[in-house]
Amino acid sequence: MQVQNNLRRNSKSQIISYKVGNDDVKLSSDIVRQYLVNGNGEVTDQEVTYFIHLCRGMGLNPFLKEAYLIKYGSSPATTVVSKEAFLKRAERSESFDGFEAGIIILNQNGELEYRKGSFYMKNREELVGGWCEVYKKNCSHPYRSDVSLDEYIGRKSDGSVNSMWSTKMATMIRKVAMSQALREAFPDALNQLFTEEEMNVDVQLDSTPIEQPDVQAISQSEPQVIPQSIPQQTQIPQEPYYQERQTAPQFVQQQPQQEVMMERPSFV
């Protein structure tokens, strides 16, 4: 029905507005699909709705690439947050007092070593994990996270290591440890937020900010809703239609058990 189509259109074109810092962010289903989806998959209404409400609820600006909606093929969509967004949200807290992060390696002496940063010698040392400590004021102990490489290394469907992890393994596992430690230290600000390194995203996400589109221009470009055609037997043909034909058309009305031929409508 036309009413149902109009309701569906209104739902997709509804604008969700909120403020992030000094920026006014406006999102709708159409805006997300046209500008903010990464990958070659077609996102569902539910996936778009979740992304919009997550951005609004957590104060994320996807046009500044603080949040990404990723979908490939028919796999479920993935929503991830940038590492910079994690740090910015932590820095807003007055209790934030910095962090330290690095990698865990098995050195040449066969000993585990917790090293700051992400440098190690691949030919002489074995990377086994990452670590991070987040400091908060008035807290006697830091929030610490130690993560194993085996648990988080990104793999393809065939079991091989994906391209992102095979080329930046130390950087990736360090980021995983940072994300976990920050989330534990600031659960109110970072709950339900995950980074691309944690979600096995096998693509280099573009971090270049994009300009927010003109909402009015997008709404005007939407196709108009065309009502469903009226059933044939209720249409009354125009007189020229009869002038072009020698015999008048007959209208057939479908019945459950038999077909009943209706008489030619009279025009007065």
d(CA 190, CA 177): 14
- The domain spans of the chain are 1-79+205-230, 83-204, 232-261
Q: What global pTM score does this model have?
A: 0.72
> Could you give phi then psi for residue 65, rounded to 5 degrees?
60, 40
Rounded Cα distance between 161 and 163, Å, is 7
- In this prediction, residue 261 carries a pLDDT of 52
The pLDDT tens digits of the residues spanning 84-107 come to 898 989 999 999 999 999 999 999
Could you read off the pLDDT of 229-245 as tens digits, one per residue? 333 333 333 444 334 44
**Once rounded to an integer, what is the mean pLDDT over residues 44-61?**
94
pLDDT of residue 263: 52
Alpha-carbon distance values, 78 to 75, 81, 244 (Å) = 9, 10, 60
